[in-house]
Structure formats: C-alpha cells, structure tokens
Amino acid sequence: MTGVNAETEAVFAELARIAEIAAGILDGEEVKRIIAEQAMHYVANPDPEHRYLSGDYFDADHELFLRTKKLLTRLERLGKVPLNGSVWVPIPGREEVTVAVQNGAYHRYYQFGQERLATPPEMKQVFANGQVLRVAPAEGDRLATVLAPVRDSLGDVVAVAEFTAPLDAPPPAWS
Amino acid sequence: MSPEKGSWGLEAGNEWVSRGPLGAVKPADVSKESFSVGHEGGVVLRAARNGYVSFRLWVIGAGEYRLAAEFPGGLEADLFRAWYHRMAADGREQARAEHCADALVLVEPGAAASLPDPDNAIEAQTHQEYWVDVFVSADAPAGTAAGRITLVAKGARVELPVEIQVLEAVIPDEDVLVCDHNSYGCRWLAGMYPSVFAGCADEPGRWARTIELLQHYYRICHEHRGLFSNLGAGHHGGFDPIYGPAARGAGRERRLEDWGLFDRHYGPLLDGSAFAAAGPGAPRPRRPARPAWGVYTPINADWPADYLWWGQPGYEVEFARGVGQFDEHFRRNGWLTTRPYFFFNHKKRYRWFEWDGDEPKYARDDAYWLEMGRLFQQAVGDTPVPWAFRMAASWQMKHHFEQLAGVVDFWVCGGFAGWYPDEIRRVVARGDVVWTYSGTPGIGEPSAALLEHVWRMWARGVSGHCEWLTTNPGPDPWFHCDGAQTGMIYPGERFGIAGPIPSARLKLQRNAVQDLNLIHARAKAAGRLEKVRQKLGKSVPVSLWERPPPIVRQQPPELWDSHNLSATQDDNMARHAGLDPLWWVPIRRAALGGEVSQ
C-alpha cells in the first residue's frame, strides 16, 4: 500500500482488526433475512414507471435487524478510531447489492436514499474469496474502508460488512 | 422595443401578478379577472393596521435611476428589487417564460440602479419589477395616508402617488396559522455563504457563524408571520454540537454536558430576544420579539439514550435521565413558552433503524411509538415545559389518530389528510395540534398557487402547514433556476448580504396569513367562526376534502403504494389546483370586511 502514511495505515490496521472479528461473529443466516421478502422483491424488481414502489414496500424483520445493528455497534466500539459499520446483501437476480442495516454517518458506498448499488469490484472479490479486504484508497480519499465476509451456516459468503473510518474529516450531520 | 434613453415610467399592479423583464405578464399569472390597484394615475390600497399592504411596481426605462418612497408617520415603505431568475430548460418549458421574478433585495435609500440591470444580465431588459411593502403600524391613525414613490434619473423625475386607506381594523399579533418553513441540518450554509465563512478555519468561529446565520433564518420567517424549523439530527441519529449537548456516561451515569453551543443557538429563540434585531439586509423588526412557536430538539431513537440498549433496562434509564435533564435545562432557563418537539424523522427504508419514525406505514411499528410515548411521559412527567410529541403522519394516520391518542399530540399530516375530515375534526376537538405538510409551488407556477396551502389549513380548521424544505432554491437559482420548489428563502450572499433574503412567494404567504388573521378574529368575536369558515370554504374554489381511492377503502395501508394510489407522496406535495391567478381576491375582500367597497 504505497503512498499511505503511518496515520492512515494505523486506521486501516484498526479497521482490519474489527473486520476480522466481524467475519467471525456476524451471522449470515440472520443477515440475509433482515430485509423482508416482499421488500426485497420490490428492490430487485424496480418499476421505472413507479420509482417509489420499493420505498413504499420497504420493511425489515425487527428482531434480526436490531440484533445485527447492536452487533455492529459493539464492533464499532471495539475500534480505537471512530468508525461505522454497514452490512450489504446481494439483490437476487442482479449484479447489485443493497444495505440491510447500517450505523452512523461514515460510509464509502451508501448515498442517501440509495436502494441498489452495482456491486463494487472489491465487494465482488470478498464475495468470491471470503477474505477481509482493505479497499485501496484513491487519490484524495478522506475515508478508509475495510470489508469483511459474512457467512451463513453453509459457509457461503452471503453478505459483506463494511467498516469505514474518516481520515481527516468529520461526517456530515445530515446524511 | 426598448424605451428611449431618458424616457421613464412607473407602473403599479396587485401583488399576485408578476411581469417579466420585457414587461409581459408572467404566463402563469395571466388572469381572466382584473384587480387594479390604480386610480387616477396613482395607487390606492386599503390596509388594516399592524401589518403590511403590498403592491408590485415596475420601473420602465433605460439608464441609471434612483427610487425612493416617502410615507407619513405610522407608515413605512420598503422597496425590494426583484431578481429575474433565468429558468433552466425544464423550468423554462414549465414556466413558459425565460425569466421569472421571485427573490427580493431590499433597496438601500439613495441606491442607484440601472436598466438593464447589469447584474441580472438580461439583454434588452426594459422593465424592473419591485415589491413594495408598506407597513402600517398598530397605532397609525385610521383614515387616508398619502405617500409617493419617486424615480429620479438623469433629466427625469417620475412620481407615483400612493394613497393608503388605513382601516380601523388591527391585525392580531398572534397568527391563527403557522406557516412552517422546514430545513435540515446546517452544513448547507457553508456552501451557500462562502464569504461568511471565508478565513474562518477554527471550529468555534465556524459554529458561531453557523448559529448566527440560522438565527437570521428564524428572523426572516418570524418577520413574515411564519416559523423556521431546523432539524438537527440526521436519519442516523447524529447531530452537530449546536443542536444539543453531549451525552456522556452510560446507564445510571448518563448525563448531558456542554450546553454552551446549544444555549447560544436556542437561547435567543426560546426567550424571544433573537427577534428584537433585524437580520442583514432586512428592514427593522416590526413583529413583537416573542419566543418561537416551537423548535426541534435533537432527541431521537439513538439520543440521549443509546440504541444499543433498546428494549433493555439501560435504555429506559438513559432515556429518563437524558430527556429529564433536557427538560430540566428548559425549566431552569425559564423557557416555558416554546414547544420543544419530541420527534422522530428516521425511515426504515434508509436502514438505520428497523421502524419508521417518519411517515410510518406499518401498524406493527406501533409498539415502538407506544413505548417511546411511555418513556417520554415517564421522563418529563407533569413538567411545565410545553413539549409536543410530533409525528409526521401519513399512511396510517387514520389508525394512528386513535391508536396513539394521548401519546402523540402534534400531528403533521401528509396529503392523505384530505381523506379524513371527520377524523381530523375529532383530533382537533380533543385539543391536539394538527398541521399538514407539502412541497411549495415553484416560481413558474401562478404566484398565488402557494396560497392554496394557507387557505386550505384555515378552511379545514387545522392550525399549521409545514413546507418540507424552503431554504434550498437549487444549485444556481439565479441563472439556471430549477423552479426553486424547495426554496422560497434565498441566500443573500451574491448581493453582499450575509443572511437570507425573502421572495415574492414569502411575502404573498405573509399577506395571506394577515388576511386570515383578520377574518378569524372578526368571525370569532362575532361568535360566527364556524359559520364563516363554512361559508367561505364553499365559495373559494379550493377542494378541501376528497373521497379516498378504492384501494384505501378496501385495503389496509400496508398494501397501498404509489401505483395503486395513482399518486406518490411527492405528487401530492407538488399538486395545486391551477386556480385563476387572482383567486385570493375575494378572501382579501372578506378580510377587509365591510370597510371594503371594491
């Protein structure tokens, strides 16, 4: 990781430590059922004539959502740097992912109101090889991100956890 | 054809009809009716006291000129130069005009101006629109007051006599309606006011300037008989330190600390002192300096209690301590007039929380609302602080009116409110506050279109209307205007004003509130309020209530969507009835009562 100073490297190292723990304790069986089936149907099948439909029908399993959110919160607090976590799940039948649950304002990928995101290459990599991955910072990047695989009971990677920390800027209060 | 240099004219018209920079009436303001403010070469208007009477003025000519207004004691005139917003391609098509006037810049006495206005950069501009506000003080003598507008240019002097027939009627200070101007956070200010923040790198200095700017927004709304509302907490629950103290410690040690920025921000709003001073580029305050009607607080699902402990004893303890200390801070400071809101804005579709705090759609989320209500009541008890449990009610409003009775007491209802006349009457009757919410018609629409909201709230018997965003007129409202549906308050930065400036829409709204204040006060004094409301409601062509579509009658809200309702929430927000541009005239006449002969 050339061109990364020691301070940035320290942030990455901390994120990687958290991501390794997350990979071990997040339960893919629960994560993949957070978004309600009907809600995921509308996320996966957007209607160009009625673009708010998936928002209209968005719903989550209260218990699974809350349990994962609390776990993300605990993971964040293990960190020695401020960071936030989110969990991304694949959208069935599409080369896209959507957020199942998130915390706080530090995010690399999430744009306010976003329902679908073309799976970024680094996430594809995590889905494919099941390894924790540091996202190489781009020039001028103000965020550091490490991704972790989330496995189900069969060992399949069914979600990706994102841990993102600021490098030099406070988060916007309004996201 | 351009006027010859040295040939000048002044023309006046009513407040609801704007004209473009070449003199043509704004296409959306072309009316089948007429309402002249002119009489034998001058302007004649009637006005109640303790309020404004307004008209539009056009300077016609070419070259440099100066404009001045003179009025006798008890009356003060403010001249505002209108900005002609160059419409972006989409907006131009909708507006059927290249330029629309809206933003208003106060004219300093003696200031020179030019036609064409080099700043506005409209080739061959022949007309410059002004908005004229004449303030008639509460103690101005009733009778005729003669003033004039004078234009002085090289070798020319044009006078427009203005006669104000001051009525005995006094507009009450207290507004019968709250026109609420909503906004979110404060980070947008740095981009809108680069000069204000230039050279200020230290954090305390930036927060001080942010607070100062926000207070100017509160002022401009207050002066226009409205309310500014600025929500600090984001959907994730975080907020900047000007919106609340820090919550430190956990569980039984949870405490709120560092109130400095909060007090600096909110103290002057809660004791009313903020409203004793004018904002930059604004006339002196004419409204009483009183505490704001209500303010958002930073309380949310993740503050002051840590959501990590939701559903567990620690959440209840932290909530009781944090909200209790918040309440105690208000009591200790004597802030007992403004309503602090207990309010949730998060939506589950944004994935920070598993339940809807804004526009809840699923009845199974009710458990969260009931629990929050219980915790809240437990935290504040019988406090003298006039808290309001505010809910943005939407899909489930009919159900929630009953299910959350005694929990929520401040309902801000979306477009679906139109389906529930009886239910809303019952909620109002039990003493809850009911408002509605929507978007704002853009500047290409008829100038009077936004008054539909004002009328509808009074005619429905609700007491407020929240326009969901009024401080963001778009990335370039000046030369590439998208219609400014989310911004009837503009940044004054490009005019060298370190604060917000008003618009014609804001002033039209204020004048409409004045009218309804008068109608309401007179009808109430005569014991005929509901009769007058019904009678006027039938005569004004604004639909108040409507039959819900079949899906609403047949299925629960969980199964409604923007497809089977045939409209999205946003469609409802933007909709207006396409009324004649002069549709408000009968209401103005009613407001000025039997004293009006026109």
Please say if the pLDDT value at position B598 is more than 60: no
The alpha-helical segments, DSSP class H, found in A2-155 are 6-25, 28-31, 37-44, 53-56, 62-78, 121-129
B189-248, pLDDT tens digit by residue?
A: 999 999 999 988 889 999 999 999 999 999 999 999 999 999 999 999 999 999 999 999
Q: Which domain holds residue A59?
A: 6-166
CATH number of B108's domain: 2.60.40.1510
**Interface check A48 vs B, CB under 8 A:** no
Q: What whole-number distance in Å separates Cα of residue A133 and Cα of residue B79?
A: 63
- Look at residues B144, B170, B196 and tell me which one is the last residue of a structural domain: B170
CATH number of A33's domain: 3.30.450.20
Reported confidence tier of residue B4, pLDDT bands at 50, 70, 90: low
- Look at residues B116, B151, B170 and tell me which one is the last residue of a structural domain: B170
* Amino acid B265: pLDDT: 98
The answer to the question of residue B469 being in a domain is: yes
Average pLDDT over residues B537-546: 91
Mark whether B19 and B132 lie in a shared domain: yes
Low-confidence residues of chain A, pLDDT below 70? 1-4, 169-175
Q: What whole-number distance in Å separates Cα of residue B428 and Cα of residue A41?
A: 40
Domain count for chain B: 2
Domain count for chain A: 1
B123-145, pLDDT tens digit by residue?
A: 999 999 999 999 999 999 999 99
The answer to the question of residue B587 being in a domain is: no
Reported confidence tier of residue B576, pLDDT bands at 50, 70, 90: low
Q: Which domain holds residue B375?
A: 179-535
Say which of B236, B240, B354 has its CB closest to residue A103. Answer: B236
Do B125 and B115 contact (CB within 8 A), yes or no? Answer: yes
- The closest of B132, B179, B184 to B506, measured between CA atoms, is B179
The answer to the question of residue A153 being in a domain is: yes
* Amino acid B93: pLDDT: 78
Mark whether B242 and B103 lie in a shared domain: no
The answer to the question of residue A141 being in a domain is: yes
Mark whether B71 and B111 lie in a shared domain: yes
Using CA atoms, how far residue B379 sits from B156, B171, B343, in Å, is 70, 40, 15
Q: Kindly report which listed range (B259-263, B334-338, B357-361, B568-572) carries the lowest average pLDDT score.
A: B568-572
Reported confidence tier of residue B72, pLDDT bands at 50, 70, 90: confident
* Amino acid B566: pLDDT: 76
**Cβ contact (<8 Å) for B234 and A52?**
no
Residues paired with A144 in a beta bridge: A165
The answer to the question of residue B395 being in a domain is: yes
Q: Is B527 exposed, middle or buried (0-12, 13-18, 19+ CB in 10 A)?
A: exposed
The answer to the question of residue B557 being in a domain is: no
CATH number of B401's domain: 3.20.20
- Look at residues B138, B170, B202 and tell me which one is the last residue of a structural domain: B170
Please say if the pLDDT value at position B570 is more than 70: no
The answer to the question of residue A95 being in a domain is: yes
Interface confidence, given as ipTM, is 0.95
- Residues of chain B that touch chain A, judged by Cβ-Cβ distance less than 8 Å: 184-187, 232-236, 238-240, 243, 307-308, 310-311, 348-355, 361-362, 364, 560-563, 568-570
Do B289 and B226 contact (CB within 8 A), yes or no? Answer: no
Quick one: CA torsion of B457, B462, B468, B474, rounded to 10 degrees?
A: 20
Average pLDDT over residues B500-528: 97
State the nearest Cα–Cα gap between B263 and chain A, in angstroms. 19
Reported confidence tier of residue B1, pLDDT bands at 50, 70, 90: very low
Say which of B235, B351, B361 has its CB closest to residue A101. Answer: B351
The answer to the question of residue B1 being in a domain is: no
The answer to the question of residue A174 being in a domain is: no
Q: What is the DSSP string of B478-545?
A: TTSB---TTBSSEE-GGGT-SSEE-BHHHHHHHHHHHHHHHHHHHHHHTT-HHHHHHHHHHHS-----
State the nearest Cα–Cα gap between B395 and chain A, in angstroms. 10
Say which of A65, A103, A171 has its CB closest to residue B354. Answer: A65
* Amino acid B535: pLDDT: 93
Reported confidence tier of residue B91, pLDDT bands at 50, 70, 90: confident
The answer to the question of residue B394 being in a domain is: yes
Please say if the pLDDT value at position B40 is more than 80: no
* Amino acid B577: pLDDT: 67
Mark whether B401 and B503 lie in a shared domain: yes
Mark whether B520 and B438 lie in a shared domain: yes
B365-385, pLDDT tens digit by residue?
A: 999 999 999 999 999 999 999
The answer to the question of residue A37 being in a domain is: yes
A-chain residues near B569 (CB < 8 A): 52
Mark whether B347 and B480 lie in a shared domain: yes
B38 versus A170: which is more confidently predicted? Answer: B38
**Average pLDDT along chain B:** 94
B95 versus A85: which is more confidently predicted? Answer: A85
Q: What whole-number distance in Å separates Cα of residue A101 and Cα of residue A79?
A: 19
Query: Which of A34, A56, A66 would you mutate first to test chain B, the one with the most B CBs within 10 A?
Result: A56
Average pLDDT over residues B478-498: 97
The answer to the question of residue B334 being in a domain is: yes
Average pLDDT over residues B173-188: 97
Mark whether B152 and B297 lie in a shared domain: no
- Report phi then psi at A161, rounded to 5: -95, 135
Mark whether B202 and B98 lie in a shared domain: no
**Interface check A96 vs B, CB under 8 A:** no
Mark whether B160 and B203 lie in a shared domain: no
The answer to the question of residue A87 being in a domain is: yes
Mark whether B193 and B272 lie in a shared domain: yes
Mark whether B202 and B138 lie in a shared domain: no
B329-358: burial string, b at 16+ Cβ within 10 Å, e else? bbeeeebeebbbbbbbbbbbbbbbbbbbbb
Mark whether B438 and B517 lie in a shared domain: yes
The answer to the question of residue A173 being in a domain is: no
Reported confidence tier of residue B81, pLDDT bands at 50, 70, 90: very high
Residue B260 makes CB contacts below 8 A (sequence gap 6+) with none
The answer to the question of residue B29 being in a domain is: yes
The answer to the question of residue A171 being in a domain is: no
Query: Which of B236, B240, B346 would you mutate first to test chain A, the one with the most A CBs within 10 A?
Result: B236
